[in-house]
Structure 1
């Protein structure tokens, strides 16, 4: 959550930025400043067509600046920022972005799987700029497992999740160098990372550069792959996504044949990460796991008994 001072200051800054962009901005109820997210890793507010994001307290200034620069250089793939570099506000790095219309969570049939896959393929085919940091996906997964260990060490679901995590290679646990350091990756791909800009009918673009960097491109396919493997994503939606990625020349998987040797380790890591977050959330709320959460934990229990596939060279 934010400090007491950050949220009102962030709202004031986003209003100032919005009015500078559009001096005639009407400040009625329809343009009230809204809080879109308020989590330890991000506080996001919106005023009219402008969004301000306060990044995690431990965000690296140089790394975030480089990631924002990448977004500015890849219009049509990533949402371009409104300012070239983060600014500091109450000890947090803040970036400014144009507003875009998100995916409608109430309309799963309209999920833009093809657009997500095509954007990923284009990102993965882009030559990374010099000095872009490593993709942070494995590091974020490791944080989720650390929170599980600290929050719910004795929860009955903790042991199978940690066992599945321990079976992964070191790089997938954020403890070693990734085997691919030449591919530009998003690092945290899910449908919440897509928006239409200009809203509401503009083209789909990727947002959120906090984890962007060089690494294993299969990580960006791993969340939908994991949900498909767990039976939580319908096969037709998974195949739409995979087919569109391949059709767009994405390098994370072979152009045809079995994609799983490339996807297995990242999909296992995302399953463990998602399960760890679910168990942590349930433990903090002092409630039993729901059906989806139990499915993820059961998948971890199975994963712990079968070694991950080695990717084909």
Structure 2
């Protein structure tokens, strides 16, 4: 099934470039192959097969969001299909087409666009939704990560600190309730990390946010939570964190106060992303038959610190 789907995605992307026929185009290449997304490139076009259990109505709303006027320079817009829509189905999975963009170079961390990411998030959070949108999926994805860990390592006492840190979070951060009043109506990306930025048009265009699968209305602090968690755990240098945060504040981002301590707003989402990352680390290491690597262990240890403190001091473990 996967091989057939990859071939069909390649054909779809290739067909979006030009009419069928003999050509000298290189063969389509697989950019990503996971349960939640298979991405195949043909020249300037990328075809993505989304997860089989994707809510297609919610995805369609997110695609309209990325394509509507006013999102230029913030979100990469999807390409229309031959039938005029932006969503089709192949082998039982929803499929979309996108322009190809140049991703962040993982081999050059000094050139990572942290300021650009902060500025883009500020612009996104300051724009309102013109049409109904689903909730941002960040908390739901955190809950799914914990469920995946439980399945991969049932009853493993080593996962206890991660579960304890999870249990200490408020219900809204676990996807069980809406965000606090006044915090849940912002337009959010839902899964911000450097892999969600590309230059378009490549190679020297502006940076744009990609992958709207988790976008929607929610607490904007969630979009800052992953870099905040990395900074708190010691994985992101303080100067890099401040570059990102300062760019977000300079852009008028509403997730944190314009000055002063940002952690009262970031504490809960940062703890949730710490748990999510640690849970995925346990799940992936179990699936691969190995112990967690050094970076994964850092996030697992951060959960242990969070779980060891009373709730009123939990912020100290992530700041």
How high is the TM-score relative to the length of structure 2? 0.92
Are positions 1:66 and 2:61 aligned together? Answer: yes
Other-structure match for 1:27: 24
- Partners of 1:60 and 1:157 lie apart in 2 by 34
Q: Deviations for 1:205-226, whole angstroms, at most 9, x for unmatched residues?
A: 0000000000000000000000
Number of aligned residue pairs: 304
Q: Deviations for 1:109-155, whole angstroms, at most 9, x for unmatched residues?
A: 00000000000000000011221110000001111100000111243
Other-structure match for 1:163: 164
Q: Deviations for 1:236-265, whole angstroms, at most 9, x for unmatched residues?
A: 000000000000000000000000000000
- Partners of 2:11 and 2:266 lie apart in 1 by 44
> Which of 173, 185, 190 is 2:188 aligned to?
185
> Which of 270, 275, 280 is 2:278 aligned to?
275
> Which of 69, 73, 76 is 1:76 aligned to?
73
The CA RMSD measured in Å over matched residues stands at 1.5
- Partners of 1:176 and 1:280 lie apart in 2 by 25
Are positions 1:149 and 2:146 aligned together? Answer: no
Larger CA deviation: 50-59 vs 79-88:
79-88
Partner secondary structure for residue 8 of structure 1: helix
Contact 1:136–1:211, Cα closer than 8 Å, also in 2 = yes
5 Å matches for 1:299-310? 299-306=302-309, 307=311, 308=314
What stretches of structure 2 of length at least 5 have no aligned partner?
none
- Partners of 1:177 and 1:125 lie apart in 2 by 20
Partner secondary structure for residue 5 of structure 1: helix
Q: Deviations for 1:76-115, whole angstroms, at most 9, x for unmatched residues?
A: 1000111252111111111101000000000000000000
5 Å matches for 1:66-145? 66-73=61-68, 74-83=71-80, 84-145=85-146
Are positions 1:40 and 2:41 aligned together? Answer: no
Partner secondary structure for residue 2 of structure 2: coil
Other-structure match for 2:258: 255
Contact 2:79–2:86, Cα closer than 8 Å, also in 1 = no
Offset, 1:181: 2.6
Other-structure match for 1:220: 223
Contact 2:193–2:226, Cα closer than 8 Å, also in 1 = yes
Other-structure match for 2:5: 6
Other-structure match for 1:57: 52
- Partners of 1:293 and 1:40 lie apart in 2 by 21
- Partners of 1:301 and 1:41 lie apart in 2 by 29
Relative to structure 1, is the Cα distance of residues 289 and 253 closer, same or farther in structure 2, using a 3 angstrom cutoff?
Answer: same
- Partners of 1:249 and 1:17 lie apart in 2 by 38
- Partners of 2:86 and 2:189 lie apart in 1 by 19
What stretches of structure 1 of length at least 5 have no aligned partner?
none
- Partners of 1:8 and 1:24 lie apart in 2 by 16
- Partners of 1:277 and 1:129 lie apart in 2 by 34
Larger CA deviation: 48-57 vs 173-182:
173-182
Larger CA deviation: 172-181 vs 188-197:
172-181
Partner secondary structure for residue 36 of structure 1: strand
Offset, 1:26: 5.0
